[in-house]
Amino acid sequence: MPDDSDFREYVTGRLDQLRRTAYLLCGDWHAADDVTSTAVMKLMRHWRRIRELENIDSYVRQVLLRTWLDERRRPWRREWATAVLPVRAVAAADRVVDERLAIMGHLAALPARRRAVIVLRFYDDLSVEETAAVLGCSTGTVKSQTSRALDTLRAALVPVPETAEEAAR
Amino acid sequence: MNLQEMLKTAVADPPPPAIDLDDLTRRVRRRQVSTRWAVGTGGLGLAVAMAVAAVGLAPLDGGAPWQPESGATQLVPPVSADPRQELLAARLTAQLRELGPEFGVPAGTVFTVERGEWGAATDGYWYVARWSSGGVQLAIIVRRALIPLEDGCAKNGPDMSCERTEGADGSVNYVVTEGAGAAPSRQAENYRLDDTAVMVTAAGGTAFTVEQLLTLAQLPGWSLVG
């Protein structure tokens, strides 16, 4: 049986981050686990080649992203985006949950590549160049996609007042 | 709260992962073994096919095609499926014969071996029987395939519904209905632990329910093991 200890060590160390990135892309933890599992299997199949790469993390993100894009192309996975998302004022106690739901909803409404750009740049903290490398596109494309995605999010993410008094001001 | 903080908050409390590295490792190894087997068999088959084609097509001096001498036997065998595949197709055909009249299988219907599309079969081939009953086009496809990893099924659209269920034995079923009205397409799939997948499709009518198709897909006789 081949020794896969370095593969396991690598994956174990990054599984949590990969799952979270996948969740932001998929919007669903079950789907995120599926995508992450498939990506891990792809990595394992080619690990002997991948382990020699200079920037393994970038390659792994690329695999995860492509896996997610492939999954979305499957007929039974096609998404049906809703045009309007509910934005409502909530009590302070619900605020964190509501913000979480709101950002996930607004992310889900973005086209796939723009969503990927936002997740890679603002969650994974990648530079424009690194994001372009993962997405396989030019830095100009990353910049324009980022700009458009941010415009959409800015328009959608209406600040919710903290308190009733603040709301009344 | 800025966008970075919002994204970090959104993933702050993940549920426990449903990812088992040991299980994934086993799946990858099994897939690698079956791929090697398929590549080996495919390579051998290709070599035989090329040899057969070369003997059959090679022109002789002057460009005249080769003809066996009078009284000699033909050296080029007819192209056919692998004997083992033929045996499996015959076994599946026997199961097909045992279906009751409700499925209206004509007497001459048999399973044939086809090259699988989209790499859908782990060894590259699938076994298919097609017939028509009461205006509905029916097909059974039996192939080697691993149980899909995803634990969900459809993003049910306005024109398609899909449901995934798990059997008590660990097998996984999908039933899909596409289109509405008098001519929907219905499909049932049964993925088994022995890496056999059975897909039953009824297109162009409402004569068969997905439950009937699923019962048909789950028959133990559709096996590629042994």
**Domain span at B199:** 83-217
Same domain, B93 and B131: yes
How far is Cα A21 from Cα A40, in angstroms, rounded to an integer?
A: 14
Same domain, B110 and B50: no
pLDDT tens column, B159-217:
778 888 888 888 888 888 877 777 788 889 998 888 889 999 888 888 888 899 999 99
Which residues 184-223 of B are in CB contact (within 8 Å) with A? none
Instruction: Chain B: give the shortest CA distance to residue A54, in Å.
Output: 24
Burial class (CB in 10 A: 0-12, 13-18, 19+), A102: buried
Q: How many CA atoms lie within 13 A of B70 on its CB side?
A: 0
Flag if B160 and A75 touch (Cβ within 8 Å). Answer: yes
Which residues 119-178 of B are in CB contact (within 8 Å) with A? 149-155, 157, 160, 162, 176
Instruction: Chain B: give the shortest CA distance to residue A33, in Å.
Output: 6
pLDDT in tens, chain A (169 residues): 556 788 899 999 999 999 999 999 988 888 899 899 999 998 888 888 888 888 889 889 989 998 888 777 655 444 444 444 444 444 444 555 666 777 888 888 888 889 999 999 999 999 999 898 888 888 888 999 999 999 888 887 755 444 445 434 4
Mutate to test the interface with B, among A8, A76, A117, A118 (most CBs of B within 10 A): A76
Flag if B17 and A96 touch (Cβ within 8 Å). Answer: no
Same domain, B58 and B134: no
The candidate with the shortest Cα–Cα distance to A60, out of A108, A132, A10, A129, is A10
Same domain, B91 and B143: yes
CATH number of the domain at B135, please: 3.40.1000
CATH numbers and ranges of domains, chain A:
1-79 (1.10.1740), 80-163 (1.10.10.10)
Same domain, B56 and B141: no
Considering the domain boundaries, does residue B76 fall inside one?
no
Flag if B10 and A119 touch (Cβ within 8 Å). Answer: no
**Given CB atoms, is B17 within the 8 Å cutoff of chain A?**
yes
pLDDT tens column, B116-152:
655 566 777 788 899 988 888 899 999 888 777 666 6
Kindly list the strands in the beta sheet with B112-115, ordered across the sheet, starting from the edge strand earlier in the chain: B112-115, B125-133, B136-144, B196-203, B185-191, B172-178, B160-166
Residue B8 and residue A20 in contact, taking contact as beta carbons nearer than 8 Å: no
Average pLDDT of span B85-92 = 89
Instruction: Chain A: give the shortest CA distance to residue B4, in Å.
Output: 5
Total domains in the fold of chain B: 2
Q: Which residue has the tokens 């088992």?
A: B20
- Cross-strand partners of B133: B136
Pairing assessment for the beta strands B172-178 and B125-133 based on DSSP bridges: unpaired
Residue A97 and residue B10 in contact, taking contact as beta carbons nearer than 8 Å: no
Which of B1, B15, B162 lies at the smallest CB-CB distance from A29?
Answer: B15
Tokens at residue B163, please?
């449901």
Mutate to test the interface with B, among A42, A44, A162 (most CBs of B within 10 A): A44
- Cross-strand partners of B59: B65
Flag if B27 and A29 touch (Cβ within 8 Å). Answer: no
Q: Which residue has the tokens 């382990």?
A: A51
Which of A23, A37, A78 lies at the smallest CB-CB distance from B155?
Answer: A78
Residue B182 and residue B206 in contact, taking contact as beta carbons nearer than 8 Å: yes
Flag if B24 and A40 touch (Cβ within 8 Å). Answer: yes
Tokens at residue B132, please?
């028509």
Same domain, B89 and B28: no
Instruction: Chain A: give the shortest CA distance to residue B82, in Å.
Output: 29
Which of B10, B21, B154 lies at the smallest CB-CB distance from A11?
Answer: B21
Query: What element of type H or E holds A142?
Result: helix A139-156
Nearest CA in chain B to A107: B7
